[in-house]
Amino acid sequence: MKLSKKQFKQDFEERLTSKFATDLTKAGYQEIYDALASVVKHYYANIWVSDNQYKDETGKKQAYYFSIEFLPGKMLKSNLLNLGMLKTVREGLEDFGIELDEVAKVEPDMAIGNGGLGRLASCFMDSLASTGLPGNGNGIRYRYGLFKQKIIDGYQVELPDSWLNNGNPWEVRRADKAVEVTFGGEVWLEDDGKGNLIPHYKDQERVLAVPYDTPMIGYENTTVNNMCLWRSEVPEELDPKFQNLEYMRQTSMLSAELYPDDSNYDGRLLRLKQEYFFVSAGLQRILHHYKGTQKKDIRRISDYIAVHINDTHPALCVPEFMRLLVDDYGVGWNRAWDTTVKVMSYTNHTILSEALEKWPEEMVKQLLPRIYQIIVEIDRRRTAELLPKIGASLVHNTRIIKDGQIHMANLSIIGSHSTNGVAKLHSDLLKDVELHDFYEIYPERFNNKTNGIADRRWIQIANERLSGIIDETIGKSWRHDLDELKLLKNFKDDEKTLEKLQKAKYDDKLRLAALIKEKNGIIVNPDAIFDVQVKRLHAYKRQLLNALHILKLYFDLKENPELDRVPRVFIFGAKAAPSYHYAKSIIKCINEIANMINNDQTVKDKLKVVFMENYNVSLAEMIIPAANVGEQISLASKEASGTSNMKFMLNGTLTIGTLDGANIEIFEAAGDGNNFVFGLTKDEVYEYYRNGNYNARDIFEQNPVVNRILNALIDGTIPNIKSEGREIFDSLTVYNDEYFVLRDFNDYVRAQADLEKLYRDPKAWAQASLMNIANVGRFSSDRTVKEYADDIWYIKAKKE
């Protein structure tokens, strides 16, 4: 959008005064931020309106991405960038003596998601809009986002994230579009005399679902999609039975908290309620809109609408869509089923069995009686149809209702036309192992969609310096098409370009070093290798392997302080799930190891360890550009894809990693020698599973280095980790090291040494870094969403 600096300054000043009855001399940052956001909203509002009109008039097919989590981070700069006014606004504010980056700090991180799955959903939102694809989000507007992490005495402490306290300037509350979602009560079917079974209800609990729309603005185009988030409220006219405080409390709880504590029955029930709540509200709105604006035959809806089930949390889309079609819109069962399967598609994001959702039949029956009936009917019909064709064992293994549980992945696969994994290796594992029985029955439904990242946020916003250098070197076309970065390959031997890249990295390291000093009070050496592991804390991601290697380096230096070592700064960022005890013990150990090492004068600045608290999207934007090395060291087969690996690659960071998830595709794309690969392969891991012959205790006893390090966990060498050190020691030596940390240790040490060797040759390192950037194109989520659009959703991009 064309906007002059003069116009902007005028609009901004006026808005500041009209909104807050103040002026530039007195306004605080919160007021400045709100006024600025409000001006920006004014700029995009018309584009949003026209794009909605365009969508309604053309009636083109749209996709709806149902996700119980989104992790957008801050939106101010990304909206400005996408509207093409970042520079103008920055300069306009500068004229007033205001720093845009200071204003941006006021915005809370929108964190209504936990990690990879939620962040991917937000990358997709950005990419859908930026590629002109009509694709919208549907989720929950949690009052409290992901907890804020504090580190106190080395322990993780969780604080509530009340991100809405100062309002949210980007959202629009659409009270007119509220719908009702119902729970519990009784349902029975009565024949209407024409042979149709009509459901009748009694004593249902009604909840009002109010949508809040947030625009998803495309990058320098005219597409604005919608992320619709639902808030639960008490309906105005309430049955007397529900006019009590407990009901009010429960209703507001529904959209209060991201992932309620699921260690007790009430917490689990609440989670199931949340799942149905946003599914039902979202589908109702889609259908109202379809009937209202398009006036088309409901039986042709699959030509106009695609609904995506992001992991199994929205799996109730399948029976709810059936309910709406059959009960509310009078479509016959067979036609409705055919339509549902065409409309729905499903992505699996993990093979870890604890994440495969199942709900007790009884719970579903009581909370969602009609949905339960429909699931039973889907299961019954399918079983009757398939038994004669494929035999009892395959049918049994793939049933939706089994052992008193409703299996949500089974429901998702059966009720949709597409099931995909998120990287090649992961999709193969789904076909060959985890979901093999389904693959036998529905081979055509299985496909791969390797993840990607919204490159605009992860380089144009996070790393303006590097972006500028790339512009100078190859022009700006890469900003619209990340594949264009391949032009950088022509500069692999160009000393000037390599120097500039090195300088940019160094400056980003200085920026991070300053932040580390401010937040952690630790002074780090910017010439050191910045070696970063940032992601959720989980045993399979093996932060522990990283920590054990740090201990090795430390003991080496203690023994020989003059050792010729490239200085290292190890940086961690990780939240542990509040009830995940073992993960919290690892955080405590890392922090105590950091304390011990950072305060030991003998290692000087050759080794530092920094745990940055409250890792989130904004912190990632500071840390990732400054990384020389990114750690992607999960046990092969466990990380479905990973996406930080792609963000690092984009920022010229070299990866040290296992042959897991998307690492494999990254190593392939970057080319041999440009990253550091180690560890067991997926096949070797499965070989151990088959033979049951892994023995971690042997390694502990026979490898003196491992022995020394593990003993340090329990012999008082590392202060203040008496119970945590013991817990971790036992997990490795008594409980046989579930994630093969000790098995991969030696090869990890070897890869770390290779890495250090390459770092001593700055030119070779810079070339490898350049090759990572140059080959990152295919990891743009623009590519990923285009594949979803072409192969799964059958939606088409708007032509500008």
Which parts of this chain interact with ligand 7GP (CB under 6 A)? 114-117, 120, 311, 349-350, 355, 422, 451, 639-643, 661
630: helix, coil or strand? strand
User: Active-site residue 558, yes or no?
Assistant: no
Nearer of residues 661 and 725 to ligand 7GP, judged by Cβ: 661
> Cβ closer to ligand 7GP: 181 or 315?
315
Structure tokens at 120: 């991917």
From the CB of 312, what's the least distance to ligand 7GP, in Å?
Answer: 7
Alpha helices in 522-643 (DSSP H): 543-559, 581-598, 617-623
Q: 382-421: buried (b, 16+ CB within 10 Å) or exposed (e) per residue? A: bbeebeeeeeeebbeebbbbeeebbbbbbbbbbbbbbbbb
Supply the minimum distance, in Å, between the C-beta of residue 146 and ligand 7GP: 12
Distance in Å, CB of 136 to ligand 7GP, minimum: 19
Q: Please say which residue, 115 or 657, places its beta carbon nearer to ligand 7GP.
A: 115
200 in active site? no
Is 117 or 286 the residue whose CB approaches ligand 7GP more closely? Answer: 117
If you search the block for the tokens 């689990």, which residue do you land on?
268
Q: Which is nearer to ligand 7GP, 453 or 589 (CB)?
A: 453
Place of tokens 């039902």: 280
Q: Do β-strands 419-421 and 344-347 pair in parallel, antiparallel, or remain unpaired?
A: parallel
Instruction: Tell me the closest approach of the beta carbon of residue 424 to ligand 7GP, in angstroms.
Output: 13
CA 646: distance to chain centroid?
13
CB of 116 to ligand 7GP, least distance (A): 3
> Which is catalytic among the residues 74, 349, 542, 575?
349
- Residue pair 623/629 in contact by the 8 Å Cβ criterion: no
Is residue 233 helix, strand or coil? strand
Catalytic residue (choose from 647, 682, 743, 783)? 647
CA-CA distance, 594 to 607, in Å (whole number)? 10
Catalytic hit among 55, 479, 509, 541:
541
DSSP state of 542: T
**By CB neighbour count within 10 A (0-12 exposed, 13-18 middle, 19+ buried), where does 362 fall?**
exposed
Catalytic status, residue 647: yes
Give the list of residues 6+ apart from residue 355 with CB closer than 8 angstroms, or none.
311, 349
DSSP collapsed to 3 states, 392-428: HHHHHHCCCEECCEEEHHHHHHHCCCCEEECCHHHHH
Query: Please, what is the minimum distance in Å from the beta carbon of residue 683 to ligand 7GP?
Result: 19
Scanning 628-737, the segments in alpha helix (DSSP H) are 644-650, 663-670, 682-691, 696-702, 704-714, 722-733
Neighbours of 759 (CB within 10 A): 18
- 349 flagged as catalytic: yes
Tell me the closest approach of the beta carbon of residue 641 to ligand 7GP, in angstroms. Answer: 4
Kindly tell me which of 122 and 643 has the beta carbon lying closer to ligand 7GP: 643
Task: Say whether 535 is catalytic.
Answer: yes
Toward ligand 7GP, which CB reaches closer, 213 or 639?
Answer: 639
The three-state secondary structure class of 214 is strand
Catalytic, 568? Answer no
CB atoms within 10 A of CB 749: 17
Please state, in angstroms and rounded to a whole number, the distance separating the CA atoms of residues 566 and 688: 36
The residue with its CB nearest to ligand 7GP is: 116
Nearer to ligand 7GP, 11 or 639 (CB): 639
Closer CB to ligand 7GP, 356 or 487, in the complex? 356
Q: Which tokens is 482 given?
A: 């990340």
Catalytic one among 398, 643, 653, 658? Answer: 643
How near is the Cβ of 112 to ligand 7GP at its closest, in Å? 13
Q: What is the dihedral of CA 211, 217, 221, 224, to 10 degrees?
A: 0
Nearest CA to 32 out of 83, 93, 121, 113 is that of 93
The distance of closest approach from Cβ of residue 661 to ligand 7GP in the complex, given in angstroms and rounded to an integer, is 5
Instruction: Give CA–CA dist 424/387, Å, rounded.
Output: 32
Q: Which residues of 722-737 are buried (b: 16+ CB within 10 A; e: fewer)?
A: eebbebbbebbbeeeb
Least gap, CB of 634 to ligand 7GP (angstroms): 8
Q: What whole-number distance in Å separates Cα of residue 487 and Cα of residue 670?
A: 14
Q: Give the separation between CA 129 and CA 226, rounded to whole angstroms.
A: 9
Q: Tokens 């409901």 belong to which residue?
A: 298
**Residue 428 CB, nearest distance to ligand 7GP (Å)?**
15
Please list, in sequence order, all residues whose beta carbon lies within 8 angstroms of the beta carbon of residue 167, skipping any fewer than 6 positions away.
34
Q: Which of 61, 431, 445, 535 is catalytic?
A: 535
Radius of gyration of the chain from its Cα atoms, rounded to whole angstroms: 27
Q: Give the nearer residue to ligand 7GP in terms of CB position, either 422 or 474.
A: 422
Choice between 117 and 474, CB closer to ligand 7GP? 117
Nearer to ligand 7GP, 261 or 338 (CB): 261
Q: Find all residues with CB under 8 Å of 413, minimum gap 6, and list them.
A: 346, 398, 419, 435, 438, 442, 445
Residue pair 253/139 in contact by the 8 Å Cβ criterion: no
SS3 content of the chain, % helix, strand, coil (to 5): 55, 15, 30
**Which residue, chain included where needed, has tokens 């509002």?**
45
Minimum distance between the CB of residue 310 and ligand 7GP, rounded to whole angstroms? 9
Nearer to ligand 7GP, 422 or 539 (CB): 422
Least Å from the CB of residue 292 to ligand 7GP = 34
Phi, psi dihedrals of residue 610, rounded to the nearest 5°: -130, 125
Active centre residues (catalytic): 349, 535-536, 541, 643, 647
